[in-house]
């Protein structure tokens, strides 16, 4: 029994680890060297930083350092302001000298050639008026395009009238047609959503072309499981304009634009003609 207990105790001890090979020893030595180098580099970087932080804190704690900083800030601000004033003075002096030179040159030309200015004015006056008028027309036309947006409001009003003319049914009719998978009618919520979501985008310039867009934004009040926020107005407008797999198209945007195109073009021509007259009057003056 004593031998069995001794055997049990001997068998329960953990086995000794195998001896390290030369390759393992070299790998462990290389890892130890890398760790030592990493710690040394870390100490080299951290030690100066601690010294600099301590010195900075010590300097900032001194009252003289704060006064010196205020003095340096005031000196820099005063120097910058002095340079700005000097630059303004130099610019004013240069403009004054240029104006004086032009006045002197005009006086010399008037004395040497008393009738030259009148002759040049009569010869090149119409050309100057024409060039200035063309410039004013271009600027006025560009301003009209940017401000009026090619009278997109006329087209938007026509589209709004077309939406108001669309026949609408109660929302329950739309729910029934959705359950029966039949052609959905225009519901009252969808129609009101189109009226509320219709708008004109701001003017945008793209590579020299000034564009404006008329579209629909937002959602209507008909909320479903698929559209918890409400049906998108742009989807309703696209379905009515182009149709779908179960709904016939009932266009209202394209006919409205075609209906008021001539009216918008006439208004554009009228405003541009007024601008041309004003521009030419300003050029003559």
Q: Which two tokens stand for residue 86?
A: 């000097």
- Calculate the CA 109 to chain-centre distance: 54
- 136 pLDDT above the threshold of 90: no
- Distances in whole angstroms, Cα of residue 33 to Cα of each of 36, 40, 210: 5, 11, 69
Q: Residue 1's pLDDT is what?
A: 47
Q: Which two tokens stand for residue 36?
A: 């030592």
- 284 pLDDT above the threshold of 50: no
Q: Residue 94's pLDDT is what?
A: 94
Residue pair 219/229 in contact by the 8 Å Cβ criterion: yes
DSSP 115: T
187-198 pLDDT, tens digit per residue, is 888 888 888 888
Instruction: Quote the CA–CA distance of 75 and 82 in Å, as a whole number.
Output: 10
Kindly give the pairing relationship between strand 198-200 and strand 204-206: unpaired
- 183 pLDDT above the threshold of 80: no
200-256 pLDDT, tens digit per residue, is 777 666 676 667 778 888 888 878 788 888 888 888 888 888 888 777 888 888 888
Residue pair 212/149 in contact by the 8 Å Cβ criterion: yes
- 30 pLDDT above the threshold of 80: yes
- Taking the domains of the chain in order of start, what are their residue ranges? 145-284
92 against 118, higher pLDDT: 92
Residue 139: pLDDT band (50, 70, 90) is low
34-80 pLDDT, tens digit per residue, is 888 888 888 888 888 888 888 888 877 777 877 887 888 888 888 88
Ranked by mean pLDDT, which of 64-68, 139-143, 280-284 comes out on top? 64-68
Q: What percent of the chain has pLDDT over 90?
A: 7
268 against 13, higher pLDDT: 268
- 86 pLDDT above the threshold of 90: yes
Instruction: Quote the CA–CA distance of 77 and 45 in Å, as a whole number.
Output: 36
- Burial 140-153, CB ≥16 within 10 A → b, else e: bbeebbeebbbbbe
Q: Supply angle C-alpha 126, 128, 133, rounded to 5.
A: 95
Q: What's the CA dihedral at 43, 47, 48, 53 to 10 degrees? A: 140
Q: Residue 92's pLDDT is what?
A: 93
- 10 pLDDT above the threshold of 60: no
Q: Residue 69's pLDDT is what?
A: 79
- Burial 91-126, CB ≥16 within 10 A → b, else e: eeeeeeeeeeeeeeeeeeeeeeeeeeeeeeeeeeee
């Amino acid at each position: 029994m004593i031998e069995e207990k001794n055997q049990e105790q001997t068998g329960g001890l953990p086995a000794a680890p195998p001896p390290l090979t030369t390759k393992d020893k070299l790998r462990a030595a290389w890892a130890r060297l890398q760790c030592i180098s990493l710690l040394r580099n870390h100490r080299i970087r951290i030690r100066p930083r601690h010294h600099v932080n301590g010195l900075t804190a010590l300097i900032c704690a001194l009252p003289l350092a704060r006064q010196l900083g205020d003095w340096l800030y005031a000196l820099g601000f005063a120097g910058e302001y002095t340079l700005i004033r000097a630059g303004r003075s130099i610019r004013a002096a240069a403009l004054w000298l240029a104006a004086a030179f032009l006045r002197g040159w005009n006086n010399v030309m008037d004395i040497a050639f008393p009738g030259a200015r009148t002759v040049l004015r009569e010869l090149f006056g119409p050309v100057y008026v024409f060039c200035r008028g063309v410039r004013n027309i271009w600027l006025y036309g560009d301003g009209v395009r940017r401000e009026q947006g090619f009278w997109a409001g006329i087209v938007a009003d026509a589209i709004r009238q077309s939406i108001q003319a669309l026949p609408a049914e109660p929302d329950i009719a739309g729910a029934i047609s959705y359950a029966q998978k039949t052609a959905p009618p225009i519901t009252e919520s969808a129609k009101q959503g189109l009226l509320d979501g219709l708008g004109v985008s701001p003017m945008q310039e793209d590579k020299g072309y000034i564009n404006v867009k008329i579209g629909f934004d937002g959602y209507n009040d008909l909320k479903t499981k698929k559209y918890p926020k409400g049906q998108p107005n742009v989807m309703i407008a696209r379905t009515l304009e182009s149709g779908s797999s179960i709904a016939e198209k009932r266009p209202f945007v394209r006919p409205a634009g075609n209906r008021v195109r001539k009216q918008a073009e006439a208004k554009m021509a009228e405003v541009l003609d007024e601008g041309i007259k004003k521009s030419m009057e300003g050029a003559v003056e």
